[in-house]
Structure 1
C-alpha cells in the first residue's frame, strides 16, 4: 500500500489512481468494442439486442460522465488510503495474516454484500421522486455499449462507490483482493452493457450461468425499467420475482445458431 507522506505524495497518488480507474474503464471498453464490433462482428452480429439506435454523440457523452465517475471513485479511494494509514480499515498486505482459505471467502462475501446493496439501491433509484435526480443519466443510454458501464450522474456514482470502501472497515481483505473485486466490477459492468450476448447457448440454464448477469439480462432493464435490477448475479431478481419474463426467450434467440434470426 502506498504511504502518503505529504501533499506532493498525496496528489501524485491521486493522479495514479485516477489514471488506473479511468484507464481501466477505457481499456476494457475499447477491448470489448473492438472484439465484438470489429474483430468478431460477423460471428456476433445476430446476438446484438435490437433496441433503438444509439444517439449521435452518445459515446462521448457517456465517456464524459464516466470521467466524472472516475474522479469520484478516485476521491473515495484516497479517503480509504488515508484511513488505512491511520489504522482504521481491515485491509492487510501480508498473506500470512489470515488463513489462505479466507482469501476466496472474503471476495465472495464482499461480492454478496455489494450485490445486495446495489439491488436495493437500484430499486430505490427507480422510485419516481428519486429517478430523475439520480438514475436518469444512466438510463438516457437506452441502447447501451461498453462505454455505458461508468456513465452515471455524480450522485449515483457516489452512492455506488461507497459500499466497497465501507466494507473494508469491517471485513478483512488482502490488498490484492480489493484489486480483484474492482477488476470483477469493471469487467462485469462492461459485459452487462455490451448489448451483444457473449455467453454460449443454454448458459442461462447452466448451474453457474443461471446466476450470472450478461448483456441480454441487463439490456432488458434498460428497455423495460421494471425488471432485472441486479449487478453481478440474478439471485435477488429471482428471489424477489423481478426477473424479466422475456429473459430466457430472448437469451435463446440471441444465442441461436441461426444468424438471420430476428427479435
Structure 2
C-alpha cells in the first residue's frame, strides 16, 4: 500500500489535496500557493493517508471485482444455470448493485489495517532473503498464509450462520442461492469485512515479504470469484472448489471453508458434491432443480428458526 500511496500522491492526490486543503504559508509577502500548489496536509498526515487509502481501495475494489467477475461470467459460468427456479429475476443486476454498494463499506473498515502497514506496524518486509533459510521461510509463508486464513474464515463464516448473525449480516449473500461470479463480493459490508480479517491479521503476526503478500491478496480475490463461477470441473476432495461452494449456497449448513475441506471435515460440516454438480445433464435437470429449490427453502427456514412447511 505504501507504493500505491506514493504513486497516487505523485500523479493525482498531491494536486487534489492542494486544491481542497491549500497551504497558506507566505514567502516575502507572496502566498506560497500562488507559487507552488501545495497542501496543508502533508503526505504523512494520518487523516490524508486514511482518506487516500479509502479512495484507492474503493476504486481498486470496483475495478478488480467488475473485471474479474465479468471475465468469469462470460468465459466460465454455465448460463444454463440461470434457468434454475431459485435464480432471481434480474439477479445479475442485483448482485452487481449489492457488491458495488458494499465495496466502499469494505474499504472504510479495512483502512486501519492498511494504515498500520503504511506506518510500519505490520511485519511486512521489503527485499529478498540472503540465505537459504530465509528463502525457505519466504516460500513457506505461502502455505502458511493459506492455512491460517482458511482456518480463520471457516470459523468466522460458520458463526455468521448462527441465526442471530445470519439474519442481520450473512443473509444478503445467501440471497443468491444459485450465484453467478458477480455474487462473489455481493455481501453486507460487515460480513465481507469480517471474512477478510484473517488476511490482514496474518501480516501482523507473521513476517511476510510485501510483494508476495500483494500477490496473495490478489489471489484470494480471484479465488473468491472462482468459487462462484459455476464451473464444476475439479472433483478434488481436498480443495474447496466451486462445486463445494455451490453446495454451500444451496444447502447453507455445509462447506464453510475457503480453500480446503479440512476444517469442514473436522467440524462435521463437510458435504461432498455429487453428480448434481458434476453431471451436466443431471445438473440442468428440472427435476433436480425442483428438489434443490425445495431443500434450500426448508434448510433456510431452519437456519432462520421458522422452518417452512414444504408441500
TM > 0.5: yes
Distance across 2 between alignment mates of 1:261 and 1:150: 25
- Per-residue deviation, residues 122-173 of structure 1 (Å, max 9, x unmatched): 2211112221011100001111000000011122122112221122111111
- Per-residue deviation, residues 160-207 of structure 1 (Å, max 9, x unmatched): 12221122111111112222222221221112111232x2xxx42xxx
Q: How far 1:27 sits from its partner (Å)?
A: 0.9
Distance across 2 between alignment mates of 1:79 and 1:117: 19
Provide TM-score, normalisation by structure 1: 0.81
Conserved in 2, the CA contact under 8 Å of 1:124 and 1:130? yes
Matched, 1:56 2:89: yes
Q: Which residue of 2 aligns with 1:233?
A: 260
Q: How many residues align?
A: 244
Q: Which residue of 2 aligns with 1:40?
A: none
Distance across 2 between alignment mates of 1:82 and 1:55: 39
Q: Which residue of 2 aligns with 1:29?
A: 69
Distance across 2 between alignment mates of 1:130 and 1:85: 32
Conserved in 1, the CA contact under 8 Å of 2:50 and 2:115? no
- Greater relative CO, 1 or 2 (CA 8 Å, sep 6+): 1
Q: Which residue of 1 aligns with 2:181?
A: 146
Conserved in 1, the CA contact under 8 Å of 2:181 and 2:226? yes
Q: How far 1:83 sits from its partner (Å)?
A: 1.3
Structure 2 spans left out of the alignment, 5+ residues: 7-42, 289-311
Distance across 2 between alignment mates of 1:127 and 1:68: 25
Matched, 1:19 2:46: no
Q: 1:50/1:127 Cα in 2 relative to 1: closer, same or farther (>3 Å)?
A: farther
Q: Which residue of 1 aligns with 2:274?
A: 248
Matched ranges for 1:160-175 at <5 A: 160-175=195-210
Structure 1 spans left out of the alignment, 5+ residues: 38-43
Q: How far 1:259 sits from its partner (Å)?
A: 9.5
RMSD, matched Cα: 2.7
Largest Rg, 1 or 2: 2
Provide TM-score, normalisation by structure 2: 0.69
Q: 1:171/1:142 Cα in 2 relative to 1: closer, same or farther (>3 Å)?
A: same
Matched, 1:5 2:44: yes
Q: Which residue of 2 aligns with 1:193?
A: 228
Q: 1:191/1:86 Cα in 2 relative to 1: closer, same or farther (>3 Å)?
A: closer
Runs of 4+ in 1 over 6 A off after TM superposition: 258-261
Conserved in 2, the CA contact under 8 Å of 1:45 and 1:259? no
Distance across 2 between alignment mates of 1:261 and 1:69: 31
Farther off after superposition, 152-161 or 68-77: 68-77
Q: How far 1:66 sits from its partner (Å)?
A: 1.6
Matched, 1:126 2:165: no
